Amino acid sequence: MEFFQDNEPDLEKPIIIAAMQDMGNVGAIVIEHINENLRTKKFRIARSSYPTFVLDMGGHIKLPDDKWEYRHTKDMIVFGGGAGQPQATTELHSICQDVIDIAKKYSAKFIYTVGGFHTTREFGKSPKTYVTTTSMSLTRQIEKMDLNTTPQKSIITGFNGLILGYAKLNGMQGIGLYGELSEPSIPQYRSAKSVINTLEKLTYHKFGDTRELDSLADELDEKMKSRWSAGYKF
């Protein structure tokens, strides 16, 4: 993994929101929504040192541009998004460590991450967001806010879980927010909206109008219905 610093922002004790693409693309949708609505500015890039796959464009191949951006506002660092996660375990750990190093550099004490939570519960158009934290004392504070904590023991894989482990190892507080979903293979805009709403409650920040996410979810619903209908008639 290679890291490139574009500029040096003037930041002091920002919160950090860090997430990558995951189930239902929830992590990337949330990160991209925040960046767009807060008009964050890029200051650092993480780039994979070598490709782990190639894209067949139909007769010729193209190398993927595996990179993830650090962006900022006056009191926040937003990291990640993108079209995937590092495939090599060493690169995944390297990027988690870099997020921690950046947090220490700017005296950040709190890291939030977001992602998807696979469930069999019927939730219609109103998915819940489940929260987990780096300590029992922090979880008790979350419960007082009438938020839903993760309902059972589970393993959280990938960056959107591992970064909480790195935060805890380095004495930082961290919170993970995971929007429930039933179809991990398609974008889950309503889950992302649920996560954003919960994140606003926790951070006391506003992240912009989420009605576009509703529209995208409705459009996707119609496409899925059309495909199912065409297949059924066939």
pLDDT tens-digit readout, 99-156 = 999 999 999 989 999 999 999 999 999 999 999 999 999 999 999 999 999 998 888 9
CA dist., res. 200 & res. 139, Å (int) = 17
Partners of 173 in the β-ladder: 110
CA dist., res. 14 & res. 37, Å (int) = 18
In sign, the C-alpha dihedral spanning 149, 35, 66, 95 is negative
Provide the pLDDT for residue 229: 65
Provide the pLDDT for residue 44: 98
188 Cβ neighbours under 8 A, 6+ residues apart: 23, 24, 25, 26, 29, 116, 127, 179, 181
CA dist., res. 85 & res. 160, Å (int) = 10
For 42-52, the pLDDT digits (tens) are 999 999 887 76
CA dist., res. 149 & res. 143, Å (int) = 7
Share of the chain above pLDDT 70, in %: 97
Q: Which domains does the chain have, with CATH numbers?
A: 2-233 (3.40.50.10900)
3-state SS assignment for residue 149: strand
User: What are the 10-residue block averages of pLDDT along the chain, 234 residues in total?
Assistant: 95 96 96 98 92 83 88 97 88 96 96 96 95 96 94 90 97 97 95 98 96 95 78 47
